[in-house]
Structure 1
């Protein structure tokens, strides 16, 4: 009899683990409470336009190539993607902007023209340091088993490579380390922003997070249809392996029998027995009894103080003028320290930095002609905010105040957005509604301090048969990291089942060999 698996949630991690396990013969059902697949990688309808509702940056595409290959398929047959020439455009005022490019030499030249020769040399050294950190951590940490302390990872790196261990800089703060490379505070701010990719403050995050800059430097891709199209492609891949995806199907309880997970009870009352349950959502929902008392002890609670950033996200169909937008744009606050101090104090920033994704704009210089005056385009705007959505309602007047602050930040840099444009705003309170027990935190646990990365929930829980995956688990937040968590969960589950002779030995990308989905039947 094939192993029966129920996945709670159809986010990137859950879809990935489901596809890989089904390709090995498991009978897999995904129960998703919402009407869509992809979790945060959704689309939002505004004024008849479909706007990317979640992550917009696609990196480390080789991870997804591995997932599709393990299922006997090719990623390029399921999505249409093109590399971005301009990684992002950055502005601090209306006097100009700085572009970073896929070509690091072009970025170096641009930084030199923007801030001088010393800044260009600083960028070159920073880029090399970020690359070294990534190379040291890719196999033992990003693709490795979750450990509660750094010592297993250090053993895997090798005790003779003490230089590499020190190069990770876990005890240095990112903001301080950036000061070694960049005297210009604007550049320090630009590269400090990478901490927010995992929902953290550059003033509290370890310098290890410099590796994110290298991840982006390896290539940023634009997908037709956005990241949601990628999620749909993985869902289609999973279904071809025999996975059953049930949307609009909330799970009320993880059932336990004989000291192990034995199935799920749906909100409708239907029971689905199984051998393995995978929680593809914030693990804190388990700890806070959202899925029943019997499973609540399986993971530790994440205290509110340990939560990552939330966000005020505006989806707009709007005309703009005055600033030459590209696909990814960042408009920086004049006082970064105050911005994060206000967030730490539980308040949205009064003068925020703003990320703006101009969805209809390609990330190529040759194609960035100004749109006709008055023509509306699809826009997603993100402002960092505290994850207090479970105890703060964000009434309309506060949303309006935050929107005004966002517009002021854009205007300071020369971008004017249509006042009467149709739009929707998601607050931390809105995110808490979609992702309960998070307070609206969009990245799981914040990466503050050297030990934070080891405190993220791994695939195994204290309850046998119950596993976790997704962007709130190991190794980190973000689209490729969520997929890596799915890879790891599938690998650990296969290993655990093989040890009880319930699964044949196999290979899952990152360590084990799988049977070919094209030559052997699936469940």
Structure 2
């Protein structure tokens, strides 16, 4: 079924909304996108500091073919719009005892490095872990990630019970890592994949180990910042006839005849549509921020079921001491961090810190003059109460960095706390990934493209198949397909 003459209104010009717009425009739909911010991007955003636009969201790109397909639908190519460099370094990892482990795209090189770091048995454990991660990636791609309405029974039928059980679908990530690594530092490092979806490795499903295989497939950095992806996708969509309106907040989803019939903007303008896509956090819809009539289309996310939030600092200045790669991770002593974060209780005394040197390449060469950094840590999603004293937190975390050898001489800063994320993305309490990925069935419980209200559809990182730029783009495709399938 084609989309000819079908009018679609999309709320939110994040990656999911822009991907849905491109898919729908390619099928002949008349698409309008309404974005409350001044520029497209959503969580793929930039903040200007010292006259330089700096990534305030994701800093690298994986699953490149997902984006290549979007640009191809617009009759162009990813390389025609963005300058991408494939990273060979996956990061420098540092612990309080001074131990350091550098990981790379080369799996054999990583095994050697882990052997030197923690012994031959841990190197063998790493090889077994990577084989298991690749199997999870291969098994779950077509059967889960690329399927709009996956079910646990359907997954078991497609993979076979034997292979499915081999992926440890009922195990927690931390338990699965214990099968491969005795060294607590390595369990801590690879358990960090859970935070990619705003979860704790103590509760997240073991299948998240597939992230290790995804990173081995390729990680790319974008010249000028990953935030440029949003502007590039917006250009492609507009060239395809999509109407993009920024500074256009939406107040309400209109409902008539038992189905979504359009939008009412904050200024009172009404826009008629045959279908509406919400590319905003599902929590905002459930909290009636788009009107009471549409709120019942989804289940509300209770505060205790929210994913984690973050504290993100953008910094300009210089770094002294330990050489820095583009990606650097400073860990606290193993144990206790996620227990403190769990149930959104409090920030731990010391956090895992992710320090991204935004202007550096794999060789770690130091740019002339000041350079830009992004520093972030995982935090509870509890709005203002999650970080009661930002100045004290900043001082303590910079001291933690300095103790690890990354001393920063800072001239300019910009911080976003969970309260700031709540202001940017209302209704979320600051949660960045929708509902928390807790338990074996959490992935199957994420909202799907179609809602209980006919004509109203969802896209974005809080919906299936999950968080991350590529996953949000895939969710946009699912929303477009659901609209086109609707009779």
Same fold by TM (over 0.5)? yes
| Structure 2 residue aligned with 1:214 | 213
- Residue 318 of structure 1 aligns to a residue whose secondary structure is strand
> Matches of residues 405-416 of structure 1 in structure 2 within 5 Å?
405-416=396-407
- The correspondence of residues 198-277 of structure 1 with structure 2, limited to 5 A, is 198-277=197-276
Q: Which moved more, 1:339-348 or 1:189-198?
A: 339-348
Contact 1:254-1:261 at 8 Å conserved across structures: yes
Q: Does 1:451 align with 2:445?
A: no
What is the match of residue 395 of structure 2?
A: 404
| 1:386 pairs with 2:380 | yes
Q: Report the Cα offset of residue 393 of structure 1.
A: 7.5
Alignment partner, residue 513 of structure 1: none
Q: Report the 3-state secondary structure (helix = DSSP H, G, I; strand = E; otherwise coil) of the residue aligned with 1:278.
A: strand
Matches within 5 A, 1:109-128: 109-128=112-131
Q: Which moved more, 1:401-410 or 1:31-40?
A: 401-410
CA gap of 1:345–1:435, structure 2 versus 1, over 3 A, is closer
Deviation at residue 441 of structure 1 after TM alignment: 0.6
3-state SS in 1 of match to 2:238: helix
Could you tell me which of 27, 32, 38 is aligned with 1:29? Answer: 32
In structure 1, what is the equivalent of residue 416 of structure 2?
426
**1:156-200 deviations in Å (ceiling 9; x for gaps):** x15xx2222112212111111101111111111110000101110
Following the alignment from structure 2 to structure 1, what is the Cα–Cα distance between the partners of residues 463 and 345? 24
Superposed displacement of residue 335, structure 1: 3.8
**Contact between 2:136 and 2:207, CA under 8 Å: does it hold in 1?**
yes
Asked whether the equivalents of residues 344 and 382 of structure 2 are also in contact (C-alpha less than 8 Å), the reply is no
CA distance in 1, matches of 2:72, 2:335: 43
Secondary structure (helix, strand or coil) at the match of 2:385 reads coil
Instruction: Tell me how far apart the structure 2 counterparts of residues 125 and 69 of structure 1 sit (CA, whole Å).
Output: 37
The question of whether the paired residues in 1 share the 8 Å contact of 2:360 and 2:366 is answered with: no
Partner of residue 71, structure 1: 74
C-alpha distance in structure 2 between counterparts of 1:31 and 1:175, whole Å: 41
Deviates more, 1:178-187 or 1:250-259: 178-187
2:63: which partner in 1?
60
SS in 1 for 2:485: helix
Q: Is the 8 A contact 2:380 2:386 kept in 1?
A: no
Tell me the secondary structure at the aligned position of residue 422 of structure 1. Answer: strand
Matched, 1:2 2:1: no
67-76 or 105-114, which deviates more: 67-76
Q: Does 1:465 align with 2:468?
A: no
1:486, distance to aligned residue in structure 2 (A): 0.9
Count of paired positions:
484
> Residue 156 of structure 2 is aligned with which of 132, 154, 157?
154
Match of 1:90 in 2: 93
User: What TM-score, normalized to structure 1?
Assistant: 0.90
Distance 2:432 2:127 in 1: 32
Matches within 5 A, 1:37-48: 37-48=40-51
Cα deviation for residue 370 of structure 1 reads: 4.1
CA separation in 2, counterparts of 1:281 and 1:225?
26
- DSSP 3-state at the match of 2:390: helix
Q: Report if the CA contact (8 A) 1:46-1:317 is conserved.
A: yes
| 1:80, distance to aligned residue in structure 2 (A) | 0.9
Q: 1:340 to 1:319 in 2, by over 3 A?
A: farther
Superposed displacement of residue 405, structure 1: 2.3
How far 1:146 sits from its partner (Å)?
Answer: 2.4
The answer to whether the 8 A contact 1:94-1:412 is kept is: no
Instruction: Give the C-alpha shift of residue 415 in structure 1.
Output: 0.9
* Cα deviation, residue 412, structure 1: 2.3
> How far off its partner does 1:95 sit?
2.9
Post-superposition CA distance 1:342-363 (Å, at most 9, x none): 453522222111001110011x
Whether contact under 8 Å (2:304, 2:344) holds in the other structure is: no
Question: Aligned pair in 2 of structure 1 residues 162, 345: CA closer, same or farther (>3 Å)?
Answer: closer
The one-character-per-residue Cα deviations of 1:49-73 (angstroms, maximum 9, x if unpaired) are: 2210101121000111122223322
**Partner in structure 1 of residue 477 of structure 2:** 487
Tell me by how many angstroms 1:368 deviates: 1.8
Q: SS state of the match for residue 467, structure 2?
A: coil
Within 1, Cα distance between the matches of 2:344 and 2:67? 38
Matching of residue 99 in structure 1 with residue 92 in structure 2: no
4+ runs of 1 displaced by more than 6 Å? Answer: none
In structure 2, C-alpha distance between the alignment counterparts of 1:335 and 1:105, rounded to whole Å: 26
Aligned-partner Cα distance in 1 for 2:449–2:40? 21
Gap regions ≥5 residues in structure 2: none
User: Is the Cα–Cα contact under 8 Å of residues 104 and 110 in structure 2 kept in the other structure?
Assistant: yes
Q: TM-score, normalised by structure 2?
A: 0.96
Match of 1:326 in 2: 325
